[in-house]
Amino acid sequence: MRTITNVREMQKIALQLKREGKTIGFVPTMGYLHDGHLSLLKAARKENDVTVLSIFVNPLQFGPKEDLATYPKDFERDSQLAENEGNDFIFYPSADEMYPDSLSVTAKIHDRTDVLCGKCRPGHFDGVATVLIKLFNIVQPDKVYFGMKDAQQVAVVDGLVKDFNIPVEIVPVTTVREQDGLAKSSRNINLLPAERLQAPSLHQSLKIAESMVSGGETNPQIVIAKMMDHIKKNTSGVIDYIEILSYPELKQPNLLEGNIIIALAVQFSKARLIDNMIIKLK
Ligand code: AMP
């Protein structure tokens, strides 16, 4: 496995691989790898000749009051984990390498961002889209792997790729969880011990919602109220949002039908956790 920190070098390698007819599977991450990231890498390994994992904590997608400075890092450990998965290249640029000058062009997402994390984190998905356009041009991937834990990101990137005719296939990967149901996240390390014990309540509330809607409940407000109640009773976290929307359109349904996403974000003292479940209804 090789670690590349230079944009032009990574791009040169990728273009050469393409000339040789090799397919490139790409897994963009912010590092501090866990089994969720590794499941993306496993899928990429299986389906492509070459895999590239990027580790870049993208300042553009963090708001001024967010956790950019405290985002966990451990490159040595990440590198070992990626190597164990048979990964070929880690692209690990600095912020100065990615953004040497202020950008004269940035992406602006117009759809699917007035809800969920887009509403609470203004500009977040613009920052995600901007860095992905750069990464796609640098890494030249055939397939890009994204986790469904960030389902809104998948929906937004789907729009980006279609609208800009980017020749890349998006592969969504199921959320990997701890044994107690908590979705694996680099941010879980920032939970206090008591909060870590409470955190499985987020997934439990999604399971409660799932059994309500599959039992015939069609009123989203009744389901949301029950979820709020469960989270408030069982955690010290502050609910950022709980929403039920159509998926992937992310529109507010009056009644629950078709493909829906039930999604939540809860702010603990030093970690904001998100989770979701997608349900196919008739
Ligand atoms: P991040 O490093 O948090 O930006 O995540 C990088 C990629 O890993 C994104 O596509 C995430 O959706 C995905 N990911 C994060 N957590 C999980 C998880 N628990 N299961 C599957 N994919 C995940």
Contact residues of ligand 1, CB 6 A cut-off:
29-30, 36-37, 39-40, 146-147, 149-150, 173, 175-176, 183-186
Q: How far, in Å, from the CA of 116 to the mean position of ligand 1?
A: 17
Omega before residue 248 within 30° of 0, cis: yes
Residue numbers of the domain that contains 145: 2-173
224 and 145 within one domain: no
What is the tens place of the pLDDT at every residue in 5-18?
999 999 999 999 99
Same domain, 23 and 120: yes
Give the end of a domain, one of 149, 173, 197.
Answer: 173
State both tokens at 180. 């107690």
The answer to whether position 280 is within a domain reads: no
Which pLDDT band, with edges at 50, 70 and 90, does 226 fall under?
very high
Give catalytic residue positions.
Answer: 37
In ligand 1, the atom with minimum distance to the C-alpha of 30 is 2
Round to whole Å and give the CA distance between 212 and 107.
Answer: 39
Q: Which of 109, 138, 173 is the last residue of a domain?
A: 173
**Per-residue model confidence as pLDDT tens digits over 185-213:** 999 999 999 999 999 999 999 999 999 99
Mean pLDDT of 21-50: 98
Whether residue 270 sits in one domain with residue 145: no
Residue at which a domain ends, from 173, 204, 232: 173
Shared domain check, 117 and 23:
yes
Residue 181 lies in a domain: no
Cα 214 to Cα 27, 84, 185, 207, 230, distances in angstroms? 34, 40, 28, 10, 18
Asked if residue 54 and residue 159 are part of one domain, the reply reads yes
Mean of all residue pLDDT scores within the chain = 97
Euclidean distance between CA atoms 28 and 147, whole angstroms: 10
Q: How many domains does the chain have?
A: 2
